[in-house]
Amino acid sequence: MSSYIQDLILAKLLTSEKGLPYSKARPGDTDNDLFNYHLQFLVGKHYIKKIDDKYSLTKKGKKHVLQMDMLGKTYEYFKASVLTYVVKQPERKILLHKRLRHPYYGDIMTVSGKVLPGEKIETAAKKS
């Protein structure tokens, strides 16, 4: 669906709680006309929306970024996750964290991560 530049734009919006202005959504030294073309394409396909002077992910865009890493690389959809529970004894306190990327931005939950195709569960647990 998307091009390299579109993936970079979506990756920038991935970690934005309230959206980004045009200048901050632009990846690196991408030519302004090329950036604007891809930005408007994403708006037209309803992956992002513009409210006031900021661009943010739509519900459709948040669903798409589930398959992306922080650099905009898209992985084959793979339905496997690993949960890591860190428990402090004797108080029985469980480590939680606040999500800082979409689609679960702001949610407080246990530490978890995706298991990539061919990856061992132990390796996925260590990286989460």
pLDDT at 56: 95
> Is the same domain home to 10 and 61?
yes
d(CA 17, CA 103): 10
Q: Report yes or no on 70 lying in a domain.
A: no
pLDDT digits (tens, 9 = 90+) for 70-79: 666 666 655 6
Structural domain harbouring 14: 4-65
> Is the same domain home to 13 and 61?
yes
What are the residues facing 56 on neighbouring strands?
49
**How many domains does the chain divide into?**
2
Name residue, tokens 């949960």: 83
pLDDT digits (tens, 9 = 90+) for 73-101: 666 655 666 777 778 888 888 888 888 87
Give the global pTM.
0.64
> Is the same domain home to 61 and 107?
no
> Is the same domain home to 29 and 53?
yes
d(CA 77, CA 100): 21
Write out the two tokens for 4: 């390299």
